[in-house]
Chains A and B, each alone.
Chain A
């Protein structure tokens, strides 16, 4: 149960900083192929943006509703990763052999590129939701209800 921080400067800065952090997290996730970055860092930065709203505005505020809604997606990232592996098996190859994905109009190298992008999104979702979930667990006190 985290209370709202009572400084005006922190609230105003937070209102500007949280969307910028989320945008940066998405940028780092999708530019993981061309430069440093990738699924893990993108996921942790997205978790940090939701955590900022929890710490600045409190657990019950309307700005933290995204963090509460994100908890419903626990395990979706892992399911996405396994789903991509299953699609590769349906296409005729082994598990997670992206060259066997059945997408018309793409050659083998582009199929592997697409496979890497999909699994990175899965990893980022999983890491982000787990980060927020651990923060909720650590800040819950006795008799607290999860909205």
Chain B
């Protein structure tokens, strides 16, 4: 897989994120965000993360757009034009400096796509090697998520349940 074809997708990603920021009408901004999620899913599928791309395409381009639109139409759809914010000098000066600092620190990261990078050498080869014998599951991501690291998944399921309960407590107070 040649990673040079990823560069147009990355440029499209940055363009959609910038236009979601600059567009003044909120409903258009939400739809551009949906297309941003879709391009992100394409980039991840290109990098070899199909499970992650699947989840992002369904959740980001599907459910998140619907939640945004329900909130916008439930509050006031006529109130969705923005006015121009006054120029925030602290953010305009400070954030590029932070960006330069992050890029300077990124030079020490291992080379992109290196099979011997520290992220791929300690526990991950044992998961890849033993998944089929231990659990009869060819999909290593599922077997790691639900068997080798099932505590994280249990607590995350509790977090999702709590989020549903919190939304109900905030917005359904007037009902029996």
Contact = CB atoms under 8 A, between A and B. Distances in A.
Interface of A: 32-41, 44-45, 47-48, 51, 55, 74-75, 77-78, 81-82, 85, 96, 98, 108-110, 112-113, 115-116, 119-120, 122-123, 126-127, 129-131, 133-146
A139 B139 contact: no
B139 A34 contact: yes
A110 B158 CA distance: 27
A98 B147 contact: yes
Contacts of B134: 108-109, 112
Contact of B139 (A36, A126, A133, A138): A36
Contacts of A146: 172, 175-176
A144 B175 contact: yes
A126 B138 contact: no
The interface centre, meaning the residue of A55, A131, A142, A143 with most chain B CB atoms within 10 A of its CB, is: A131
A32 B50 CA distance: 12
Nearest to B143: A116
Contacts of B170: 137
Contact of B175 (A109, A120, A145): A145
A26 B88 CA distance: 49
A91 B136 CA distance: 21
B15 interface: no
B153 A74 contact: no
B106 interface: no
Q: How large is the interface on B (under 10, 10 to 19, 20 to 34, 35 or more residues)?
A: 35 or more
Contacts of B70: 135, 138-139
A44 B51 contact: no
A119 B164 contact: no
Interface of B: 50-51, 54-55, 58-59, 62-63, 66-67, 70-71, 74, 133-139, 141-143, 145-147, 150-151, 153-154, 157-158, 160-161, 163-165, 167-168, 170-172, 174-176
A143 to B, nearest CB: 6
Contact of A138 (B74, B158, B174): B74
B175 to A, nearest CB: 5
11 contacts: A38-B51, A41-B51, A44-B59, A48-B63, A55-B66, A77-B157, A77-B161, A81-B157, A116-B135, A116-B142, A137-B172
Contacts of A34: 138-139
B155 to A, nearest CB: 10
Query: Which 5 residue pairs spanning A and B have beta carbons closest together?
Result: A130-B164, A137-B167, A133-B164, A112-B135, A36-B50
A36 to B, nearest CB: 4
Contact of A134 (B55, B136, B147, B163): B163
Given A41-B54, A41-B58, 12 more contacts: A38-B142, A51-B63, A55-B66, A74-B164, A116-B147, A119-B153, A126-B161, A135-B67, A140-B175, A141-B74, A144-B174, A144-B175
